[in-house]
Amino acid sequence: MKRVAILISGGGSNMLALLRDMASGGHPCVPVLVASNDPKAGGLAKAAALGIPTAAVDHRPFGRDRAGFEAALLQPILAAEPDILCLAGFMRILTPEFIRRFEGRMLNIHPSLLPKYPGLHTHQRALEAGDAEAGCTVHEVTAELDAGPVLGQARVPILPGDTAESLAARVLVQEHRLYPAVLRRFAEGQTVPLMLA
């Protein structure tokens, strides 16, 4: 069984999709920790309600001291001894030193069809570009932001009248399909990208 820690910053709907899938039969992974940089992240209570250990390390008291924040965040993570680290709406940029520690075993979900639109405001940027489709990507985390090897993508059409909000909601449904499917494959050593319609 692979031990999985999940890092979140918000509501944690992707985290829940991962936890629900791991709770279903025959899964190669077991969740060992949900951690957040925001003690108020809604996902923490949802994970705790499912009996998953949680940790919160508020990044704000650390100011610009990223290394200090990460050293504090590492404590519960290392104690949980994860094999795989999943970023699920984790909105802090991690230092190369942190990323190196989990090289080859850290995944992220990003709400665009990478390499298009790394960073923020992905849906607005897709709309402004006049794109016909949007989607989401699960990728391995490397030191370059949103640029690691792609492990899976799911696509959705952009419809007339779409707003960033309506598009985000359509993409999110696909995120919840894609991330659990990619995590299962990754845990079994499968890194050929999974392309969902």
Contact set with ligand GAR (CB under 6 A): 8, 10-15, 43, 88-89, 109-111, 172, 175
CB of 174 to ligand GAR, least distance (A): 10
CB of 133 to ligand GAR, least distance (A): 16
CA–CA separation, 153 and 70 (whole Å)? 29
Which token pair is 101? 């520690």
The CA-based angle 34-139-57, given to 5 degrees, is: 25
Q: Does 139 participate in catalysis according to the annotation? A: no
CA–CA separation, 184 and 18 (whole Å)? 10
CB of 88 to ligand GAR, least distance (A): 5
* Active-site residue, from 110, 123, 139, 176: 110
Q: Are 109 and 138 in contact (CB under 8 A)?
A: yes
Complex with ligand GAR: residue 80 or 109, whichever CB lies closer: 109
Measured from each CB, the residue nearest to ligand GAR is: 89
CB of 71 to ligand GAR, least distance (A): 22
CB of 43 to ligand GAR, least distance (A): 6
The CA-based angle 121-135-178, given to 5 degrees, is: 120
* 39-44 CB contacts, 8 Å cutoff, 24+ apart: 41/8, 41/9, 41/10, 41/11, 41/12, 42/10, 42/11, 42/12, 43/8, 43/10, 43/11, 43/12, 43/13, 43/15, 43/16, 43/88, 43/89, 44/8, 44/12
Nearest to 7 by CA among 48, 50, 54, 64: 54
Complex with ligand GAR: residue 43 or 82, whichever CB lies closer: 43
Residues assigned a catalytic role: 110
